[in-house]
Amino acid sequence: MEYNISNGLELDDNSSIAVIGGGPAGSFFTYFALDFAQRVGIDINIDIYEAKDFTCAGPSGCNHCGGIVSESLIQMLSTEGIVLPANVIQKGIETYTLHLESGTTVIEMPLHEQRIAAVYRGFGPKGAHEDDQESFDNYLLQLCEQKGAQLFIDKVTNLSRTADGIFLKSLKHGEKQYDLVVGAAGLNPKTLKLFKGICPSYLSPETTKTHICEFYLDPEVVNEYFGNSMHVFLLDVPNIKFGALIPKGHYVTLVLLGSNINRDIVKSFLDTKEVRQCFPPDIDLEKIIPCFCFPTINIKAAKSAYSDRVIMIGDSSSSKLYKNGIGSAYITAKAAAKTAVFEGISEKDFKKSYQKVCNELNLDNNIGKGIFALTTIIQKSPLLKKGLHRMVVKEQSQDSEKRRMSSILWDTFTGSAPYTDILKRGLNPLVGSKLILNTIKGTIK
Ligand SMILES: Cc1cc2nc3c(=O)[nH]c(=O)nc-3n(C[C@H](O)[C@H](O)[C@H](O)COP(=O)(O)OP(=O)(O)OC[C@H]3O[C@@H](n4cnc5c(N)ncnc54)[C@H](O)[C@@H]3O)c2cc1C
């Protein structure tokens, strides 16, 4: 289908948009842009280009992610009319189990209202064949197709600017001209480089290497050993800020975040007694890993993520530090769609409206950096860890509004609340004083 190319820097009837990347950012942008356009009575055309096929198991359909959808995002999506179907949710997470060298504690969800969902972004790990499950990313893409978008399973290979539009070249569909190009390509370095030509001042995000692997187990074993709990580790292992085991049907996903994680670091983490005791004693963990990878994560936002007719969203732009990347994709994608439909597609329009939203995320991340620096201090101090463990164990027998430290840890680990909000709660004098008191008592005992 050929589209009309509008001369102005505003969307109108028959304007055409190319979305590069069909991960959450690309899908959320498409969903909201079509929705907003319908509200203002304009008929726009959106083509989504996605290089992967999310109906395939293994790397060709995988977006390398822990797959935790925070309760705040589940709530926001349901108010937008997006309710995740049961076959997309591999497990509803109800508690998290905190593992420290000084002990293990199960922490209840602060408010027993919404569950966290553990999903697969693609069809599942290499070799997965369960036909009762669906990919999260594929589900969102289907919603976009139902709203009228066209999906091309195709790789974008070139972008160039002309006087009245952007030319996009892809492997299977040749060259096409668009009014607006949306960069939702995650952290793919080759694709981000393509944007240099049409968005010259764009500086891609800073990244660091992380680790993901899957353990294949019997579903009964997963239930018996992990239940509906995400297992979180605050252990003194070099380079690791955060480790989590996330149960999902036949598998348990391991996510390690920190800095430049490599095979040796992963091995030393898996060899700790705290990790070993989560699994059946006679299992050789290395033999039940069908796939693993070392994907990168956004640790510092991109700069100048827009120009006339170009906007970058999701991981390609700004994302929440270490957590809730899918939630950040929702925030930036919706803000970009709002600006494009209601205000315009010029650099000036994006700078005026979209940049504000990125600034808020970036400011929150600066606070997040401080929170993770504090977590690292606790991680490295056996005494503080003892105090933290004592405090959290005690809180479990108290009313939920008194479980201050538990709710801080919950939101830090699940990414459910902004870091600013966590900081405010952490500054309550009762939190610090109780941690000190419990550390002293724990040390004496
Ligand atoms: C180890 C790890 C664990 C994580 N765990 C979680 C978690 O539990 N919960 C959470 O919310 N977030 C998590 N994240 C973050 C989350 O994965 C990202 O923030 C999120 O995926 C960003 O979405 P996106 O749409 O911007 O990018 P992506 O999900 O990366 O999607 C980009 C898409 O663009 C496509 N693409 C790229 N180049 C081209 C091209 N040239 N042509 C066509 N298509 C192209 C890719 O195939 C991909 O599908 C984790 C990240 C890591 C690294």
Does residue 186 have its Cβ closer than 6 Å to ligand 1? yes
320 with 178, same domain: the answer is yes
Which of these three, 366, 387, 408, is where a domain ends? 366
What's 325's domain CATH number? 3.50.50.60
231 with 199, same domain: the answer is no
Amino acid at 264: D
**Within a domain: residue 82?**
no
Write down the pLDDT at residue 2.
Answer: 46
What are the angstrom distances between the C-alpha of 119 and each of 69, 87, 93, 252, 264?
A: 7, 9, 10, 11, 28
Does residue 258 have its Cβ closer than 6 Å to ligand 1? no
What's 277's domain CATH number? 3.30.9
**Within a domain: residue 196?**
yes
Query: Which residue owns the Cα nearest ligand 1 atom 15?
Result: 325
**Within a domain: residue 337?**
yes
Show the domain range for 227.
Answer: 92-119+208-297
Domains in the chain, number = 3
Q: Which atom of ligand 1 is nearest to the CA of 319?
A: 19
pTM here is 0.95
Q: Which atom of ligand 1 is nearest to the CA of 296?
A: 53
Does residue 66 have its Cβ closer than 6 Å to ligand 1? yes
Supply 364's token pair: 């929150």
Does residue 212 have its Cβ closer than 6 Å to ligand 1? yes
199 with 58, same domain: the answer is yes
Which of 261, 265, 326, 416 gets mutated to test ligand 1 (max ligand atoms within 8 A of its CB)? 326
225 with 293, same domain: the answer is yes
**Within a domain: residue 435?**
yes
Cα(315) to centroid(ligand 1), Å: 7
270 with 397, same domain: the answer is no
Does residue 155 have its Cβ closer than 6 Å to ligand 1? yes
324 and 73 Cβ atoms separated by less than 8 Å:
yes
Write down the pLDDT at residue 128.
Answer: 84
Cα(126) to centroid(ligand 1), Å: 18
Does residue 210 have its Cβ closer than 6 Å to ligand 1? yes
Does residue 26 have its Cβ closer than 6 Å to ligand 1? yes
pLDDT tens, position by position, for the chain (445 residues)? 444 444 469 999 999 999 999 999 999 999 999 999 999 999 999 999 999 999 999 988 999 999 999 988 998 999 999 999 999 999 999 999 999 998 999 988 766 555 789 999 998 898 887 767 889 999 999 999 999 999 999 999 999 999 889 999 999 999 999 999 999 999 999 999 999 999 999 999 999 999 999 999 999 999 999 999 999 999 999 999 899 999 998 999 999 998 889 999 999 999 999 999 999 998 999 999 999 999 999 999 999 999 999 999 999 999 999 999 999 999 999 999 999 999 999 999 999 999 999 999 999 999 999 999 999 999 999 999 999 999 999 998 898 888 999 999 989 988 889 999 999 999 999 999 999 999 999 888 7
Does residue 49 have its Cβ closer than 6 Å to ligand 1? yes
52 with 193, same domain: the answer is yes
Which of these three, 297, 327, 345, is where a domain ends? 297
Write down the pLDDT at residue 66.
Answer: 94
Which of these three, 314, 337, 366, is where a domain ends? 366
Write down the pLDDT at residue 111.
Answer: 63
Query: Which residue owns the Cα nearest ligand 1 atom 37?
Result: 185
414 with 433, same domain: the answer is yes
Query: Which residue owns the Cα nearest ligand 1 atom 16?
Result: 325
Does residue 25 have its Cβ closer than 6 Å to ligand 1? yes
Write down the pLDDT at residue 4.
Answer: 45
Cα(176) to centroid(ligand 1), Å: 25
Cα(64) to centroid(ligand 1), Å: 7
**Within a domain: residue 419?**
yes
Supply 6's token pair: 């509008």
377 with 399, same domain: the answer is yes
Write down the pLDDT at residue 7.
Answer: 47
